[in-house]
Structures are given as C-alpha cells and as structure tokens.
Structure 1
Amino acid sequence: MSNITKEDVKKVAILARLALKEEEISSYTEQLEKILGYVAQLQQIDTQDVPATTRAVEVTNVTRDDTSKITNIRDKLLDLGPQREGEFFRVPKILSD
C-alpha cells in the first residue's frame, strides 16, 4: 500500500483548482490514507464467483402494456378550455404584425 503524503494532496488540490488550508490538507491526507487502507482490505476478498451488480438491491420497473383505445372525449376536453373554436382551443394572439 502506498502512503499518501501532504504533497500528493497539494498536487491534487492544484489540479482540481481547490484552495485548501493547511489543516484541511492534513485532514484529507489522513482520510485518503484510511480510504486506501479500506480498499486494500477489499482487494483481499475473493469475488471470483460473485456476479457483477449495479446496486445492492435489484430493482425492476413496474410497467403496464402500452395500448391505445378509441374514446369520444374530445368535445368534453375542448369544453374545459377557456375558449373554443371548432376542434381547437382559442388562445390570445402573441405575435404582432
């Protein structure tokens, strides 16, 4: 396992254009070291027969058939609008001549 140094954190901060205070650099150095230690532990686990997943709990979509049916509610829907002109909604003019 490689050791993370303050210089490593400073270099990454410069590349990421982050302005870090000295106490933040010390804190991040310790945190990154712990994270890498945890990753090293995980690498020791045998995952040869474990299937790859994208989430811990498999989720499936609940869907219904997309079917169409003919209805005669056009007039009812058009009547719900503020103004109607034939088979269309009448709206105020928004463009000038």
Structure 2
Amino acid sequence: MALTPHDVSRIAHLARLALSPAEEQLLLGQLNGFFSIVEQMGAVDTSGVEPLYTPLSAVQQVQLRLRDDMVTESNQREANQRSAPAVEDGLFLVPRVIE
C-alpha cells in the first residue's frame, strides 16, 4: 500500500500541519517505508506461534504475579464530587451541548 503525494497532503491537512514540499517528500518516503515494514511483518506465517504475554517469556520461564481481585479502596464519591459545580444523585451535571 504505497501512499501518493496527494495522500500525504491530505493527511497533513487533517492533522493541521503546514508542510513544505520538501517536508512532504521526506514524509512520503518515511510513511511508505513504515508501510513496507508492516506489509513484510504481515506476510510472515505465525500460525504455530504462541502469543507472548511478556517479551521475557521468549527467553525464560516467567511466573505471572497475579493478585486477588478484591476492593482495596473505599468509596470516595462524595469527596471527589465536592469541588464539582453541580451534582445530582451522585452524578456530575454538565451543561447541555446538544439540543
């Protein structure tokens, strides 16, 4: 998937970037290089490869340190909402932006 100079101009416009023609050409080469690497990685057959949960598991046995799923903090809703300009029934009230 090679980008064209028009694609780079459109991306720059969407990102609100003002690029000179030289910068656009440089960015075009960099983006096309990136997409070339992505295509190469996508072409690799990974059908028999186990996913890694950490890069270290590729070179050594790693024991996951899982903790019990339990509540460790108390409810701080009232304290957190104390500085809010408007609260009702435990919810923040905000101005209507859509009619």
Length-normalised TM-score, structure 1: 0.52
SS of equivalent residue, structure 1 residue 57: helix
Listed as ranges, the matches of 1:66-81 within 5 Å are none
RMSD: 2.7
Query: What is the deviation of 1:61?
Result: 7.8
Partner of 1:41: 40
Structure 1 partner of 2:8 = 9
1:95: which partner in 2? Answer: none
The runs of at least 4 consecutive aligned structure 1 residues that moved more than 4 Å come to 58-62
- Greater gyration radius: 1
TM-score using structure 2 length: 0.51
Query: How far apart are the structure 1 equivalents of 2:44 and 2:27?
Result: 26
Structure 1, unpaired ranges of 5+: 63-97
Percent of residue pairs bearing the same amino acid type:
31
1:35 & 1:54 partners in 2: Cα distance? 25
CA distance in 2, matches of 1:8, 1:18: 13
